[in-house]
Chain A
Amino acid sequence: MNIAPHFPILQIIVPLLAAPLAAMSLLFGQVRMRHLAWGVTTLSLAIAFFISLALFVQVQSGGTISYALGDWQAPIGIVYIVDSASSFILPLICGIALVATLFAPRLLKDEISLHDQPIFYTLWLLTIAGMLGQVITGDAFNIFVFLEITSLSAYALIALGVGRDRRALPAAFNYLILGTLGATFYVIGIGLLYMLTGTLNLDDLATRLPALADNNAAAAALAFISIGLFLKMALFPLHFWLVPAYGYAPSIVSVLLAATATKVSVYVLIRFLFGVFGVEFDGIATLGSVIILLGVLGALVGTLAAIFERDIKRLLAQSSIAQLGYMAIGIGLMSHAGLTAAFIHLFNHALMKGALFIGLGALGLGLLGTKKARLTLDNIRGAGRAAPITMAGILIGGLALIGVPLTAGFISKLYLIRATIDADLWATTALIALSSVLALVYVWKIVEAAWLQPPTTEIVIGQEKIYHWLPVWIFVAATIGFGIYATPLIEAAQAAASLFVENK
């Protein structure tokens, strides 16, 4: 039997069905079960990664794939759409999840109790399946369902950080309140659209909405959907849930969420603004200007807040706010160049933040003398000597955040700045440059603490093992690789952007 035509659904089904299997390993006793759960997770994500790459290749050669679930054709049934945009995001999510999972047992050992580990893997797979679903589905309500699958399991994953720091619990609760608020706003918007058009299929909506360009309810739907997604993607000033959530989550969870979760919401926003409402829609240009303004403010506020953080995970979370601001600027430009820049940065930022957060997790694995509950600028002193290879990886990740040439971050900044210049937004260009320069300050604070300041405790040299530095360097290698040889990434991003905005 040829299963290749069913890849779009298998992309979701494999991790989704592996989730209860991982939970069932609880039946097999304390010690064996976590290996079993980990095995199931790794295997399913490896399959998902393979499928996502196969889909990418298929789309490159054969164009958009439309998969009707249960053979119910659109617009009646739900269809999964794999096009140049979704096939660009799927391998990113699967790849990051797979690399993180490979090193999960080490990172989990000190942070999550043995008994909770199978549950951890279940939630982990549900989060990933939900994110993949949001990207691949062509149905507006289906997006909501996958959004909630992702969010609910992410709240629980963050709360698992309680083993290390009890503040993970209020962080998860606040995220739950704001996340649910965002999702409900989204549902209100979808409800209004359904009342107006009688359809939930994204392509069908796109064909029916132009006739409603001056309809107030359609404008209200656009507002509700945008605000809901701004909340989920942590666009300034709706970002307050993000810093505690990423800061207190278990380190492996921070890797996945920081690298992929907000990106998926960015993608859904792009899909709605360009793929459903379209750049011609009344009022969308105004919304674009608002998004640029919020993006610029987010870039500055996030960077400044990062400079004043002492806890390194919180520092990186603040920097994520700034980086999401850059993506928002790219979206708000409403041009082909801007959208290309947003897609490129979405991809590159996932790699950089993956490297940085997994590096911090590795540092916590006995490299800094006594076990530390948290990594602050004070207790990473001497890390440059104790863990030179890991810290070098973290440094390159930091340089990529600033946008230093030869890293992927440079390509992002280059395209973003070019896009703002094309749009004659000189103030925006200047502020992007300013916030990039300010990013140097917080990266320098890490460098200073790790290499230049005397260690506060005895540093043991030579404890660094392959499992410390390898995960960091996988991400760093990708960051450098896409920084030097960026052509395939740029082409894929341009193809994704062409789907939504005409290339002039």
Chain B
Amino acid sequence: MMSDMGQVFGHWNVYLVIFLMMLGFYTLIARGNMVKKMVGLNVFQTSVFILYISMGKIDNSTAPILTDNPLAIYANPLPHVLILTAIVVGVATTALGYALIIRIYENFGTIEDHELVDFMEDEENTL
């Protein structure tokens, strides 16, 4: 029984990740406002960052810096390094996304998805 509980609660980081992931994913899909879509995308991406960062953690481990103690357990730094790259990619994506939103607002006067769809369809029909 105890080990079953350990199975469930030992993976609390995964539950957090899934919660954040679904939160971001839902915002991304359900919101028509482009800024909110970007926020959803960011939350979604961040959940994946946490997934990676938490997988590098080992019980009773220390930072992966070489010490004199031969018995020291080090955290796995590789996922952290990977996610450093992914964070940079995320920043670039966010910057590009907001730059596009600004241009869309300048050109169409709206950042609402459904209003844009109306614009797009009107222009399609005036071929």
Contact = CB atoms under 8 A, between A and B. Distances in A.
A155 B79 contact: no
Secondary structure dominating the interface of A: helix
Contacts of A176: 93, 96-97, 100
6 contacts: A159-B103, A170-B120, A176-B97, A181-B44, A191-B48, A191-B79
A180 B41 contact: yes
B55 A195 contact: yes
B101 to A, nearest CB: 7
Nearest to A151: B93
Nearest to A147: B89
A406 to B, nearest CB: 34
A316 to B, nearest CB: 16
- By CB atoms of chain B within 10 A, which of A144, A184, A244 has the most? A184
Contacts of A184: 44-45, 48
Interface string A147-181: 01000100110010010001101101100110011
Contact of A310 (B79, B85, B120, B127): B127
Contacts of A173: 34, 97, 100-101, 104
B85 A145 contact: yes
Nearest to A374: B127
A451 interface: no
Contacts of B119: 167
Nearest to B90: A180
A181 B97 CA distance: 13
Looking at chain B, what size class is its interface with the partner chain?
A: 20 to 34
A181 B86 CA distance: 13
Contacts of B103: 159, 162, 169
Contacts, number: 75
Closest 8 CB pairs of A and B: A166-B107, A148-B89, A173-B100, A169-B104, A376-B127, A170-B116, A169-B103, A180-B93
A169 B123 CA distance: 14
Contacts of B101: 173
A162 B100 CA distance: 11
Interface string A119-160: 000000000000000000000010011001000100110010
A188 B48 contact: yes
A388 to B, nearest CB: 25
A244 B123 CA distance: 13
Given A156-B96, A167-B120, A172-B100, A188 B34 contact: no
Contacts of B55: 191, 194-195
B52 interface: yes
B28 A181 contact: yes
Nearest to B94: A180
Given A181-B41, A184-B45, A187-B48, A155 B100 contact: yes
A311 B41 contact: no
Interface string B90-127: 00110011001101100110000000100110011001
Contacts of B45: 180, 184
B51 interface: yes
A309 B37 CA distance: 29
A448 interface: no
B82 interface: yes
Given A145-B89, A148-B89, A162-B107, A167 B100 contact: no
A297 to B, nearest CB: 22
